[in-house]
């Protein structure tokens, strides 16, 4: 079991999930925060020695920035991910607005007094151009050493393999429309920390609490939220 780590996404999404992660925080190697959902008071429920990820969000709730026009609808809410992806490949998203919102989310998190260990994103938006390039640019600007990479993603079930293939194809499409180049965005070629496993993709046939494996794996999970199709990680907790 020493080769398996747990990374908790969507901290701040709702009260029950927050309280669950806080109660089990010692079991998680990384806790990734939705900063447009969580305020400093919520973040401060966690001990200071936690490695924090910033879960960059462009598709749910309201932005941190003011004055955005291409990332939000008429009510000031982010577009859902299919709409945002379509707008991005059609060139109807202002990259400067993505940079502005990304930077404001980073600044808001840093105001909590905690350091950012890793940048990642809600529903894999940083897998796509231009979000991938903006993420890397801001990581360099704020000296954030780690970005969740898609270079090494382990897939154990057919469901996960199909999910990964779909994401990869969409990433190539986004890069082609954005840069007129058939290649993967930068977040697919940078090195990450070991290999990630997304339990929102995995089928139920694998029990990750009893997995015999030597390589270092990080199980990306959504504790106490209905997003993980494989929930065997609860046995580890």
Q: How many domains does the chain have?
A: 1
CATH of the domain at 170: 3.20.20.370
158-200: per-residue pLDDT in tens? Answer: 999 999 999 999 999 999 999 999 999 999 999 887 799 999 9
- Tokens standing for residue 39: 């305020």
Backbone angles phi, psi at 53, to 5 degrees: -100, 145
Range of the domain at 83: 4-235
101-116: per-residue pLDDT in tens? Answer: 999 999 999 999 999 9
- Tokens standing for residue 126: 């940083």
Split at pLDDT 50, 70, 90, the class of 2 is low
Maximum separation of any 2 CA atoms in the chain, in Å: 51
Label residue 113 left, alpha or beta by phi (over 0 means left) and psi (-120 to 50 means alpha). left
Statement: residue 1 has pLDDT above 50: no
For the chain, list the strands marked E by DSSP. 4-11, 30-33, 51-56, 118-121, 146-147, 195-198, 217-221
Average pLDDT across the chain, whole number: 95
CA distances (Å), 119 to each of 60, 187, 202, in order? 17, 11, 23
Statement: residue 67 has pLDDT above 80: yes
Peptide bond connecting 16 to the previous residue in cis, omega within 30 degrees of 0: no
């Amino acid at each position: 079991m020493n080769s398996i780590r747990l990374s908790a996404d969507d901290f701040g999404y709702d009260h029950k999930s927050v309280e669950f992660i806080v109660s089990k925080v010692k079991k998680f190697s990384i806790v990734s925060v939705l900063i447009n959902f969580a305020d400093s008071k919520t973040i401060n429920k966690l001990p200071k020695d936690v490695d924090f990820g910033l879960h960059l969000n462009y598709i749910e709730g309201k932005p941190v920035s003011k004055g955005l026009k291409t990332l939000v609808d008429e009510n000031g809410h982010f577009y859902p991910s299919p709409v945002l992806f379509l707008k991005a490949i059609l060139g109807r998203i202002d990259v400067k607005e993505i940079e502005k919102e990304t930077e404001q989310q980073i600044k808001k998190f840093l105001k909590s007094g905690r350091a950012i260990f890793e940048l990642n994103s809600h529903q894999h938006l940083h897998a796509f151009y231009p979000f991938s390039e903006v993420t890397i640019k801001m990581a360099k600007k704020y000296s954030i050493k780690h970005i969740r990479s898609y270079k090494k993603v382990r897939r154990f079930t057919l469901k996960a393999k199909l999910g990964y293939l779909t994401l990869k194809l969409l990433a190539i499409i986004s890069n082609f429309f954005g840069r007129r180049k058939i290649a993967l965005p930068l977040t697919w070629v940078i090195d990450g920390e070991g290999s990630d496993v997304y339990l929102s993709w995995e089928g139920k046939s694998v029990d990750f609490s009893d997995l015999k494996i030597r390589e270092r794996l990080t199980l990306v999970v959504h504790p106490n939220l209905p997003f993980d199709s494989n929930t065997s990680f609860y046995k580890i907790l």
